[in-house]
Structure 1
Amino acid sequence: MNLSILRKYSMIKRYKKIIDILIKYEFDYLVDQLKLRPFHIHILDSNKLYTSKEEAVSRPERLREVLEELGPTYVKLGQILSVRKDLIPLEYADEFAKLQDNVPSFALEDVEYVIQDELGATLDDLFETFERKPMAAASIGQVHRAKLKDGMNVVVKIQRPHVNKIIETDLDIMNSLARLAEERVQAAKQYGLVKIVDEFSRSIRTELDYTQEAQYIERFSYNFKDEKSVYIPKVYWNYSSQKILTLEYIDGIKANDFQSLDKLGYDREKIAMIGSNAFMKQIFEDGLFHADIHPGNVFILDNETIALIDFGMVGRLSNDLQNGFIDALFAMTKGDVEQFVEIMYEYDVIGSDADTQRLKNDIETFLDKYYGRSLKQMDAASMISDIFVILQEHHAKLPPNVALLLRGTIMITGFGSQLMPDFNLALVFEPHAKKYMKKRLSPKNITNSALKNVPKYSRVLHKMPMQISQILSLIEKGELNIKFRHNELETLPQEINDASNRIAFSFIVSAIIIGSSLILQTDMEPLVWGVPFLGVFGFIIAFLLGMGFVISILKTERIYN
């Protein structure tokens, strides 16, 4: 039989199962709205799961049970949505957080098949010992303990056979259902169901590639190479592939085994601070963070060294996103609501259709709630929860990695609180944020940023004569078309003149800064305090001109306003 026909038949069967389960859990109205009844084989009302006596079961609970019954792909979708409290109603996100992988392990014969297919060798060829019973089993793979031929103890994560094909089929169905829902259900369009499925598809496809997780682990190992209090397990690349990940076995005490920690005299407070400082380092210095640091994912080694495991949930922060995140936090601490809203616009968290006045009022109410409190009185988890409420009310959507960052913040807060009753993340956050801002505003960093932009300005200047020539050529041929809308056109010439002057002035100040920076790197005499006087003088002139420029802009804005 043709493979495409088999695939279509498989998808139709899957559609029927989805519809049957939706009806079973009292989501008939959704099936009708999507006009999917033709796929449904009639089921008597007596087969429905809930009777009139059980109407107290909430819709979020029933939807969680739908996801559980639909299987691994849908459980993963729910787990990811539990993080995105900015995208779905909070009651659903909280309910989806209860979703757990509850799947049986697969047979050792399948393990042998995957290892032979991926690594080209048998278990006996590769390992001295290999435990038949897995340590843990999840929807995508399972983990076994083993020992290499050289005696090194390892853990081997192995992907379920053919799970990628099953997931791809489910993703195709999810995508088509999401598009159908956005066409026919207003709520689906409001929450951007297609974008949610697209984001989920990217996430789970990344999770299917174990080499990506291995690369993350190596990156974390490099980032913490100078940190004696944090340990990252070693990756064994010769025993790893896209579907197999072999790591060093960590022999330690789980961070939630308080009895064993106390018995050995370990300092819980010290462990909490090491974990939270490690998280802050990931955010402010590395731009790569572990978003799932909870006591079950942390082992305690000798001398209260912590070992991080399970790098399946990792987020990235670009330098631009780091700056935006810090700027937003500082805007809130200063009570600068205008700046905070501007940052939300800049990063597409809110659209042009947002009710900015109501948003500002809600943010001011939020700030009033926490204003005047000492850092010791701040509860990071409660603050983040309040932020999610505001985002929900204004249909704001966070960049995926920022949502993951907030999730990681809640997790590290829980980690610290379990180990240390009076743990407060705000006290850990403050010195890291100040250090980051000091580094960001240092003359060296500003100079480096300016020098990085030199090639960009050079390209602009290089292209400008050609672009002007093309425009003049079009004018000469009578082919230049200009579209504009009249709006206070009488002020346009003056505004263009002002803008041109400002641009020219900016170039001059930038040139002075760059030139002074280059001079400072030489031994040009005369010297003042061991540095070239001309370079220092150039910076002073640039500073004075820049301040005068800023003042003139502020005066102009007040005049126009």
Structure 2
Amino acid sequence: MTDRPTARPGRRLRSRARYRRILAFGLRMMLQTWWFDLVLPRLGLRAWSRRGQTARLTRSAARFRRLATDLGGLMIKVGQFMSTRIDMLPTEVTDQLAALQDAVPAAPFDRVRAQAEADLGMPLDRAFAAFTAEPIAAASLGQAYRARLTTQDATAVGYSDVVVKVQRPGIADIVEVDLAALRKIAGWLARLSFVSDRADVPALIEEFARTSHEEIDYLHEAAEAERFSAEFRTASGAASGRRDGAGVPCRAPQVVWERSTRRVLTLQDVTAVKINDVAALRDLGIDPSAVAGALAESMFTQLFDNGHFHADPHPGNIFVTPGLERGEFSLNFIDFGMTGTIDDTLRRGLTDLVIAVGTRDGAGMVDAMAGLGVLLPSADTTVLAEAMTELFDRFGGMAVADLQHVDPKEFEEFAHRFRDVIRTMPFQLPENFLLIMRAVSMLSGLCSTLDPQFNIWESVTPFATRLIRDRAGASATQVARRAVSSVAGTAKVITRLPGRLDHVITVVEDGDLSVNTPQVEHQLKRLERAAVRVVAAIVFVGLVVGGAVLRGSAGAGDSWSTAANVVGIVMMGCSALPLLYAVFGGRRVR
């Protein structure tokens, strides 16, 4: 069943107003960034623009929070993502956006009820034994309610308590309006060379559009939740007292297919302690640092073992369920509307990246980025590799708490140096890579929230060690196969070698040996022409400058000044010849 009724005049007016508000906010942010980050630094006012940067970001975050809360829809998703980036944004900014995790206004229940009953084909009091009218969560695209299955349905599935997600009425039209505005802003950004040289923003928006359409298809979400449960490695044991989080089960809720449609999704109720509720975890005897370790473990397992990952792991989508023993727990993921998959090529590139990070190999990290397609082949990565190596040497292995004790001036020096390098690199984001960045950054931010002493390096190292070991085993097998193939090829060459040597000796004795290197000769000719054109350009500059100096030094009235003025004019006129050769010389030579 679709959610596309005939648009009434009032709805069309609201859609146009929404569209204009998003465009106006995007344009304002673009102009602010252009002025303070590009124009002022070029005018020598970099220090002045940096001084008020945090205050500007805070004000912008507050304006965006008000806009997103008022509009809802995809704007909430953008704010939720940014609120987890405590590693990149000041706390003043993330604090402003953190409210978007929970404070999403709920749609009226009578509209939600009407839509749910229309999709289920029956009244709610017939589909469920009980259904609460107050939502337990109001998300950007849907709302969740607690309910209880009928005795017949509960007997069939083995549980009675469920959570029913109902899509927000009219959200499909809102998503289309938001995507239209984002596509317009992406078109503006694509016209800016410093953006288009580094990322295909329209392509990224289209990827975002695809995932957004999947999010409002609850049958797709149900299938992804079942796939997550089937693929994820669940180990026995607890994480009590362990910082690495190994052995912690990760689960997804079971789907009640008989009560699910494209706009209504009924799931087993797995809600427990919200993962970022540190006080509640401690009250239950659960170590937040162990939860951080388990979360990191789940992140790497999803990326490297399962090849299928939850792409929207904000705090509202992960719960910690206490175990039978004090300190034991499991992680329960919900909301699988946004997921991603990793093919073999992408997994190999990510493996190279993790191995480079685990071994603190700056050059290897840059090579892995190039292999992933993040860096274009034309990129000169030497300077970037040096910067990454220096970054690893200075800050590698530090936890978030350790970084707080580093001299801010040292951070600033590194940031300025690294920023200049980044701006010269032709970066791009391959397909599906944006979802990976989103998931990793969200989970990394959550780990740091749970445990300020959390050290991502300690989580990466075990995975890097295992990946190196697995790759070494695979490489040994490949080397053996290549050795067998090489022996066979060598034997074939050896059998033909005497005849070929005899032919070569005969050619040399007859004086018929010659070396033909057309590519080298062509390159030498091009180099020679380029050198001549450079000389012509130098002559042009010399004539123009010399002529200008002579004319400027000429006075008035005496014969020397007149002659200097004439010679200056002649020199500047003659400069046209070397200029023409410097620009067009040698173009027709092949």
1:488 partner letter: V
1:505-538 deviations in Å (ceiling 9; x for gaps):
xxxxxxxxxxxxxxxxxxxxxxxxxxxxxxxxxx
2:100 partner letter: Q
The correspondence for 2:217, drawn from 206, 209, 222, is: 209
Give the conservation status (yes or no) of the 8 Å contact 2:84–2:441. no
Give the conservation status (yes or no) of the 8 Å contact 1:293–1:411. yes
Give the corresponding residue for 2:322.
301
CA distance in structure 1 between the partners assigned to 2:304 and 2:195 by the alignment: 36
CA distance in structure 1 between the partners assigned to 2:518 and 2:446 by the alignment: 59
2:131 is equivalent to residue 130 of structure 1: yes
SS at match of 1:161: coil
What number of residue pairs does the alignment pair up? Answer: 428
2:136 is equivalent to residue 115 of structure 1: no
1:472-515 deviations in Å (ceiling 9; x for gaps):
xxxxxxxxxxxxx9632799xxxxxxxxxxxxxxxxxxxxxxxx
* 1:237 to 1:332, Cα distance in 2 relative to 1, 3 A: same
Alignment of 1:34-113 (within 5 A): 57-58=56-57, 60-61=60-61, 64=64, 67-68=67-68, 71-76=71-76, 78-79=78-79, 82=82, 98=98, 100=100, 102-113=103-114
2:471 is equivalent to residue 434 of structure 1: no
* 1:192 to 1:94, Cα distance in 2 relative to 1, 3 A: farther
Give the conservation status (yes or no) of the 8 Å contact 2:302–2:308. yes
Alignment of 1:401-416 (within 5 A): 401-416=432-447
Alignment of 1:442-481 (within 5 A): 442-443=473-474, 446=477
1:205-230 deviations in Å (ceiling 9; x for gaps):
12111222222211221124643442
* 1:285 to 1:248, Cα distance in 2 relative to 1, 3 A: same
CA distance in structure 2 between the partners assigned to 1:225 and 1:333 by the alignment: 23
Give the conservation status (yes or no) of the 8 Å contact 1:291–1:405. yes
1:107 partner letter: P
- Shift of residue 17, structure 1, vs aligned partner: 5.4
SS at match of 1:351: coil
1:9-38 deviations in Å (ceiling 9; x for gaps):
97687455554676699939969x9xxxxx
User: What are structure 2's unaligned runs of at least 5 residues?
Assistant: 35-53, 155-159, 237-247, 483-516, 524-590
Give the corresponding residue for 1:488.
520
The correspondence for 2:384, drawn from 351, 359, 382, is: 359
* Structure whose CA Rg is larger: 2
* 1:395 to 1:166, Cα distance in 2 relative to 1, 3 A: same
The correspondence for 1:235, drawn from 229, 251, 255, is: 255
Give the conservation status (yes or no) of the 8 Å contact 2:135–2:143. yes
* 1:251 to 1:298, Cα distance in 2 relative to 1, 3 A: closer
Give the conservation status (yes or no) of the 8 Å contact 2:162–2:269. yes
2:363 is equivalent to residue 330 of structure 1: no
* 1:12 to 1:258, Cα distance in 2 relative to 1, 3 A: closer
CA distance in structure 2 between the partners assigned to 1:171 and 1:99 by the alignment: 23
CA distance in structure 1 between the partners assigned to 2:19 and 2:359 by the alignment: 50
SS at match of 1:82: helix
2:520 partner letter: E
User: What are structure 1's unaligned runs of at least 5 residues?
Assistant: 34-54, 452-484, 492-561
1:259-286 deviations in Å (ceiling 9; x for gaps):
5444444454544433332333222211
CA distance in structure 2 between the partners assigned to 1:269 and 1:245 by the alignment: 33
SS at match of 1:200: helix
Give the corresponding residue for 1:283.
303
SS at match of 2:467: helix
* TM-score normalised by length of structure 2: 0.59
Give the conservation status (yes or no) of the 8 Å contact 2:164–2:266. yes
* 1:426 to 1:12, Cα distance in 2 relative to 1, 3 A: same
Give the conservation status (yes or no) of the 8 Å contact 2:74–2:175. no
SS at match of 2:148: strand
2:322 is equivalent to residue 311 of structure 1: no
* 1:274 to 1:149, Cα distance in 2 relative to 1, 3 A: same
CA distance in structure 1 between the partners assigned to 2:402 and 2:477 by the alignment: 33
Give the corresponding residue for 2:270.
250
2:393 partner letter: D
CA distance in structure 1 between the partners assigned to 2:274 and 2:183 by the alignment: 40
* TM-score normalised by length of structure 1: 0.62
Give the corresponding residue for 1:154.
162
Give the corresponding residue for 2:187.
179
- Shift of residue 343, structure 1, vs aligned partner: 3.2
RMSD: 4.8
Name whichever of 111-120 and 419-428 sits farther off: 419-428
CA distance in structure 1 between the partners assigned to 2:376 and 2:291 by the alignment: 42
Name whichever of 243-252 and 340-349 sits farther off: 340-349
The correspondence for 1:218, drawn from 203, 217, 226, is: 226
Give the conservation status (yes or no) of the 8 Å contact 1:250–1:307. no
1:305-353 deviations in Å (ceiling 9; x for gaps):
3131323443332232222112123345556555443433332212245
Give the conservation status (yes or no) of the 8 Å contact 2:355–2:467. no
Give the conservation status (yes or no) of the 8 Å contact 1:236–1:247. yes
CA distance in structure 1 between the partners assigned to 2:261 and 2:82 by the alignment: 30
* 1:416 to 1:84, Cα distance in 2 relative to 1, 3 A: closer
CA distance in structure 2 between the partners assigned to 1:123 and 1:434 by the alignment: 53
SS at match of 1:158: strand
* 1:238 to 1:280, Cα distance in 2 relative to 1, 3 A: same
2:339 partner letter: V
SS at match of 1:241: coil
Give the conservation status (yes or no) of the 8 Å contact 1:235–1:247. yes
